[in-house]
Structure 1
Amino acid sequence: MSSSPETTGSVSALVGALARGDASIIELTAPLSSDTPVLDLPSDMAPIPRFRLEELAKYDERGRTSYQNGIHTGEHVGTHFDAPRHWVTGADLEDVASVPPSRLVAPAVVIDKTRVAAADLDYVLRRDDVGEWQREHGALPRGWLLFRTGWAARSHDQELFLNAGGDGPHTPGVDPDCARWLAQETPIFGFGVETVGTDAGQAFRFDPEFPVHSYLLGAGKYGITQLQNLHLLPPTGALLIVAPQRIVGGSGSPARVLALVENGAK
């Protein structure tokens, strides 16, 4: 299939910018290991298995020339992708293997609420917050909305990251009205966060419960979690690359997430 001159020129310009050092590739993925924080689910739900490597061979009698491991993990561990089928509202929609590549490489914008989330660990994003951002930066894209709260700084420690007490976890998220609006009335493909999941820690008390999962996945949109380095991205102008494994029937997958940004853009 031949490319149009416009497409070829755009791709060449991007390649040239990277080669000249005018653009950078930003790593947004948390390292995945047995120490990666995992969401604690209620006792009436099956627990999420932690990530684990099983050594199969390491230049020894099991394989003299090779080093190999088996991988054991839940789909929703570490920096990971939520497909619509992950939630009951999207049960008849895409599994992770069916997501079009055009949704995985797309523009991204960042809403930064680090300061307010530091003062209120249960802070939830509201439609007015997004409206204020749009008045300054323009409309939301056909792409990804990334929500920066500063929570990535906690990701080295399970207890600090989950921040759970006797009344459940306390982490920032999105209120139900904003989640419904993002799902049904905006062109975004998906929503990305620094926290262990796309919903607030106290979202089990919301109506509906876990509204980001319920509304966005039910609308055929996507989630990505446990992002890092969002402070290196400008409010607009980044190109996001989300690379989950193409798991047939999968509800999600650990993912490598990268952003391309123009140097000096903040």
Structure 2
Amino acid sequence: MSGGLSMKTTAALLFFLTSAFSAAAIDDKKVVDLTYPFSAETHHWPTAKPFFLEKVAEGRTAAGYWYSSYNYGGSEHVGTHLDAPFHFAEGKWTTEKIPLSRLIGPAVVIDVGRQAQKNPDYTLQVSDIRNWEQSYGRIARASIVLVRSGWGKFWGDRKRYFGTDEPGNSSDLHFPGLSKEAATFLVSQRAVKAVGIDTPSIDPGPSKDFPAHQVLGAANVAVFENVAALERVPNKGATVYAIPMKIQGGSGAPLRIFAILP
């Protein structure tokens, strides 16, 4: 195109306009919120600063109208959140540089609940991915893979969710994650654009060097952790929207993630 928007820009604009108009017709029952509320009770990594909400004002003013205002803060990596590739990969995307198109896409939900029930430190294997594909077909390029371990049932019980409730102790954690081999397969063989999980970390609790983080980060693949309500999302057919706070230079951010059911 000459003297105007490029074809790529025009296509992107048409996509978002179409999405905006389509959103008006979406049934509320088809929208699944995959985000835990942020509060003082929200789970956070043992060595991270918890979320806080500090009241500045709340009540009727002298003029008679209602006014409320708060300060908030805490770690980037608290509650349902994004890990930017930069979190474990030098020179890769920081939070604000991740294109929104990399955070929206078709959901592939791989269930390892049975395995995790037997072994709390279970890691997703390439065989689990291939088993999913036997039932639903090859994972499409640019999919968003969500690992459903069933760990969400422990949300609110820090000891069950992390494996320990000792403050500051990150050396005795137990929860499922991804194997290095599975992470490598997803980026090199299936070209996924994001990976999420319903546990505190994409790497299993006992991990000390976080290989899945390293592999995914090096490929500029975003990670979503502490994803809620995955039991409500089908194994195939939903669309995921993961919208993080746009923190400049960030290694992560609080995340509002939801799925539109087919």
State the TM-score, normalizing by the size of structure 2: 0.86
Question: How far does residue 59 in structure 1 lie from its aligned partner after superposition?
Answer: 2.4
- Aligned equivalents of 2:112, 2:144: Cα separation in 1: 17
- Aligned equivalents of 1:100, 1:145: Cα separation in 2: 17
Per-residue CA deviations over 1:64-88 (Å, capped at 9, x if unaligned) read 742011011100000000111111x
Question: How far does residue 185 in structure 1 lie from its aligned partner after superposition?
Answer: 2.6
Gaps of 5+ in 2: none
The 8 Å contact of residues 176 and 204 in structure 2, kept in 1 or not, is answered as yes
1:29 to 20, 28, 35: 35
1:113 corresponds to: 112
CA 10–57 in structure 1, closer or farther in 2 if over 3 Å, else same: closer
Per-residue CA deviations over 1:196-230 (Å, capped at 9, x if unaligned) read 111100121xxxx2111110011110100111111
Per-residue CA deviations over 1:6-28 (Å, capped at 9, x if unaligned) read 96997489447525x7x610011
Alignment coverage as a number of residue pairs: 247
The 8 Å contact of residues 109 and 146 in structure 1, kept in 2 or not, is answered as yes
2:93 corresponds to: 94
Please provide the CA RMSD for this pair: 2.6
- Aligned equivalents of 1:62, 1:182: Cα separation in 2: 59
Question: How far does residue 170 in structure 1 lie from its aligned partner after superposition?
Answer: 1.3
The 8 Å contact of residues 124 and 178 in structure 2, kept in 1 or not, is answered as yes
Gaps of 5+ in 1: 41-46
1:196 corresponds to: 200
The 8 Å contact of residues 107 and 237 in structure 2, kept in 1 or not, is answered as yes
The 8 Å contact of residues 37 and 157 in structure 1, kept in 2 or not, is answered as no
Where do 1:60-139 residues align within 5 Å?
65-87=66-88, 90-139=89-138
The 8 Å contact of residues 107 and 238 in structure 2, kept in 1 or not, is answered as yes
1:221 corresponds to: 221
Where do 1:150-161 residues align within 5 Å?
150-161=150-161
CA 8–122 in structure 1, closer or farther in 2 if over 3 Å, else same: closer
Where do 1:239-258 residues align within 5 Å?
239-258=239-258
CA 7–151 in structure 1, closer or farther in 2 if over 3 Å, else same: same
- Aligned equivalents of 1:110, 1:219: Cα separation in 2: 21
